[in-house]
């Protein structure tokens, strides 16, 4: 449901801009108004993409990959614990610490699919931990890669170019005294 709402939010940005430009005449007299409108629409689209479309949890073989809004995490399932306390869900990744997956957090849009996804993730993690304790002698820990964290940068950040350019333009304009 969040994905659908975010996709509609991204699709609504060009429609809203076209309506304001064509019907309301925004930007017809002053290009600054049009640039401000376009940069705000671009910023809103970036937020909808980052908050509703891109966050996800993927389990690839014996590895869990968590993509949050700005950071991503990768860890072996056997070095991951599923924590659920007080309505808050988190993963404990050895070497990184507590990670709250955005896609597993409770929201207004929670339903059976979200609950079943949380249950499936918990079962996979518990199964990998049981397999790890059963095969502890077969897995030398020094050879296993630990958890890692990195900053997410992708095509969605192209949507931030217009708001940043508008910000720089306004700063230079204000500094020059106009």
Averaged confidence pLDDT in the chain: 80
Torsional class of 61: left (φ above 0), alpha (ψ -120 to 50), beta (otherwise): left
Q: What is the pLDDT of residues 119-160, one digit of tens each?
A: 777 777 777 766 666 555 444 454 456 788 889 888 889 999
92's tokens = 């404990």
37's tokens = 């409108």
Residue-level pLDDT at 164? 94
Closest C-alpha to 9, from 40, 49, 66: 49
Residue-level pLDDT at 161? 94
Give Cβ neighbours of residue 49 (< 8 Å, ≥ 6 apart). 6, 10, 156, 159
| Cα–Cα distance measured from residue 27 to residue 20, given in angstroms and rounded to the nearest whole number | 9
Residue-level pLDDT at 94? 84
The model's pTM is 0.70
Instruction: Find the DSSP H helices in 60-138.
Output: 112-134
Q: What is the pLDDT of residues 66-99, one digit of tens each?
A: 888 889 999 888 888 888 776 677 888 888 888 8
Residue-level pLDDT at 129? 67
Residue 42 has pLDDT above 90, yes or no: yes
42 CB neighbour count, 10 Å cutoff: 21
Give the H/E segment covering residue 4.
helix 2-22
Percent of the chain with pLDDT over 70: 80
Residue 27 has pLDDT above 80, yes or no: no
74 CB neighbour count, 10 Å cutoff: 19
């Amino acid at each position: 449901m969040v994905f659908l709402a975010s996709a509609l939010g991204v699709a609504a940005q060009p429609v809203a801009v076209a309506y304001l430009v064509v019907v309301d005449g925004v930007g017809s007299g002053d290009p600054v108004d049009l640039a401000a409108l376009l940069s705000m629409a671009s910023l809103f689209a970036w937020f909808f993409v980052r908050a509703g479309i891109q966050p996800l949890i993927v389990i690839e073989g014996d590895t869990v990959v968590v993509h949050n809004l700005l950071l991503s995490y990768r860890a072996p399932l056997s070095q991951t614990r599923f924590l659920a306390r007080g309505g808050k869900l988190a993963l404990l990744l050895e070497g990184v610490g507590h990670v709250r997956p955005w896609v597993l957090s409770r929201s207004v849009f929670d339903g059976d699919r979200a609950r079943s996804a949380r249950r499936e993730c918990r079962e996979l993690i518990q199964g990998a931990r049981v397999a790890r304790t059963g095969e502890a002698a077969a897995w030398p820990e020094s050879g296993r890669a630990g958890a890692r964290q990195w900053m997410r940068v992708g095509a969605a950040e192209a949507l931030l170019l217009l708001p940043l350019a508008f910000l720089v333009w306004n700063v230079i304009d204000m500094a020059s005294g106009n």
